[in-house]
Chains A and B, each alone.
Chain A
Amino acid sequence: MIPPEDVLAGLPLPFDDEPPSVRQDIADELADHLACAYRRELLKTADERTAWQRVLDRFGNPQRIAYQLWFQALWGRIMLNRFARVWQGVKVIVGLAVVFLVFRMAEQQSALHNQLQFMTASYNSMQSQSMGNRMLLEQLLSRLPSPPQPTEGAGMSGAMGMGAGAMGGESGMGMMLPGMAGGDMAAAGGPLPSGHTSTAAHTGLTLRLTMEGEDNKPAAGCVVAVANEEGKSLLAQFPEFEAGMMSGGMAGEMGMMPGGPAWNARPLRQNNEITGVSLPPGARGEVTFPAIEPGRYTVYVEFEDGRQCAHRIVIPPGSKSLPRVEHIQCPMPDTKAYVVFHTPLVEKTYADANVRVRASLIRKPTHLGKIEWADGLDSKTWYVYFDPTTGAPIKYDTSQRRTTPAKSSNIINQQFDVSDLPPEERFLGLPAGDYHVSLMWVQPDREPIATARFAPLLSNPFAAEGAAKNGILTIDASTRDILLDFPDGAFEQLKKHLAIETPSTNSEAVQTKGEEPSSTPR
């Protein structure tokens, strides 16, 4: 006989809402049928196994019939369950599709927003450029001479209203803007011709940069920037330069060359958030800003070698403000001296000590007119390493610290090995100026043993030949050889210090004290 639990073995796991009696009822009903059939067959044959086999042959697979009855009884619930699962899957798929669509829409919206911002910025830029164009046109028109009255026999030059000195370069038929010739402008050195007024809210600003000296050469090779009090850069809309010869034999100067705000723009070294315009060599040294609102501004000028200034100007409000011309005089670059340092020779006993000189440039700001110029470098220090047996330099090590406003400093180091050069080629290029010079003897493990006593930072006990005074060494373009020597008594003190460190003295100390030699300086 098949136990009921075996009849139900083929059924799946019960559902949560399956009536508990369904399975048992199916099992009992089939079991009763099998029992009746078995009893009937047993009457036909006494063999239980044969009787049971006949029952099963006729009945078939009880588990299959049980599953059929179970499925039939729970068909509704099964279908509902399957539908619920399918519906759940559909909901998940639809949910994912909705999330994907929302994400895509957000992406497209963001792209549209960026595009709109870009178009807005472009429009604003075009607006300001248009305003600048209008201002410039007004300035140009104001510089044009009034139309001449037609007179009999007037020459071309008379008709054009040109003066003898109006044109730069070759004479002849110049361009249409003689009033903008550099000669007139440079000689005037002041505001533009009267009769022209700026709009109430904007005025033009022209920066004219020249080098110090009597000939007032135009400055070049620098970056010029103007920023408002908020640190926002004003871009020169039309930086100018000379064009030289024109085609057809006409010569003259291009007054203003439209270039756009991006032409030749450079960030400042002292503040890379401020953008200026670069004046290349050959430029006329003028930068124009066609439209500036009243306010306080800072004009920045930076040269490659570090000369820089930050000059404050004020554009006052006023409906009749004339275009402003600001003259900036720039200092000449440093003169250079090419010097060779020489140290005194020390005894061979101390030859393994490192000898070096430290020369620190003392820099003070330069004032030209009302403008203060700095070199943009907090310190410049040169180290010269020497061969103690010959007193000749063998290596140079430069250290420059450059500090920008509110920015971290950066140190630039460079080293030059000159030990394989002939003595006359072992020079060091230094800017002319005043220096603190220190001479140091350093032990082989680089711990200085003489610096503190013999080369304090602010004084120079070692007199440089013919130049040292109060610890300051003055170097000019004519300086060549600098011999550093010991002041009186200093060499004896040095020998005494070095003697303490020599092996023979250490061994004496050991003999005296019975201790191992110590390498620590006393």
Chain B
Amino acid sequence: MDSRLLWGTVEMLILEVVAEGPTYGYEIAQTVGERSRGYFDLKEGSLYPALHRLEQQKLLTSFWDEVDGRRRKYYKLSIKGQTTLDEKKAAWKAFSQGVNGVLGAQIVLAPGQ
């Protein structure tokens, strides 16, 4: 898959998972993998830079909590993140409809062609 297409898609997927509720990195990776049936296997080397970048873009906010004696960083969607997610989803929808329209369309030929 084209990396550019993947990159924008991964961010949308992360925002979508976080939109469901505050969550942490490991859980985000697991959720994306399970729901995509293994198609999207977010490596840690990609996941955490993406999370931090989204946080710097103010699309995500974070807070710390203590679990089992460890500090855990939770992410949640900000209002700006919600807006961005909606835009990305609308764009993806339009994109996928367009692709599906081409890929799924039957070519109707005029009689005699």
Contact = CB atoms under 8 A, between A and B. Distances in A.
B70 A35 contact: yes
Contacts of B49: 68-69, 72
A72 B57 CA distance: 12
A58 B27 CA distance: 15
Contacts of B56: 72-73
B25 A72 contact: no
Contacts of B68: 35
A400 to B, nearest CB: 100
Interface residues of B, number: 19
A65 interface: yes
A32 B24 contact: yes
Given A25-B73, A72-B53, A32 B26 contact: yes
Interface of B: 24-27, 43-45, 48-49, 52-53, 56, 64, 67-68, 70-73
Interface string A44-73: 000000000000001110001100110011
Interface string A18-46: 00000001001111110111000000000
A32 B71 contact: yes
A72 B64 CA distance: 20
Given A60-B43, A65-B45, A68-B45, A32 B70 contact: yes
A73 B70 CA distance: 22
A60 B70 contact: no
Given A29-B25, A32-B24, A33-B26, A65 B48 contact: yes
Interface residues of A, number: 19
Interface of A: 25, 28-33, 35-37, 58-60, 64-65, 68-69, 72-73
A28 B44 contact: no
A59 B25 contact: no
A60 B44 CA distance: 8
Contact of A33 (B25, B52, B53, B64): B25
A68 B47 CA distance: 12
A36 B52 CA distance: 19
Given A37-B26, A69-B52, A72-B52, A28 B71 contact: yes
Interface centre among A31, A35, A73 (most CB of B within 10 A): A35
Given A36-B26, A65-B44, A65-B45, A28 B73 contact: yes
Nearest to A61: B45
Given A60-B43, A72-B53, A32 B72 contact: yes
Contacts of B45: 60, 64-65, 68
Contacts of A69: 48-49, 52
Contacts of B44: 30, 33, 58-60, 65
Nearest to A37: B26
B73 A29 contact: yes
A24 to B, nearest CB: 8
B52 A73 contact: yes
In the A-B complex, list the 4 residue pairs whose CB atoms are closest, starting with the nearest: A36-B26, A28-B71, A29-B73, A32-B72
A256 B86 CA distance: 115
Contacts of A28: 64, 70-73
Contacts of B67: 32
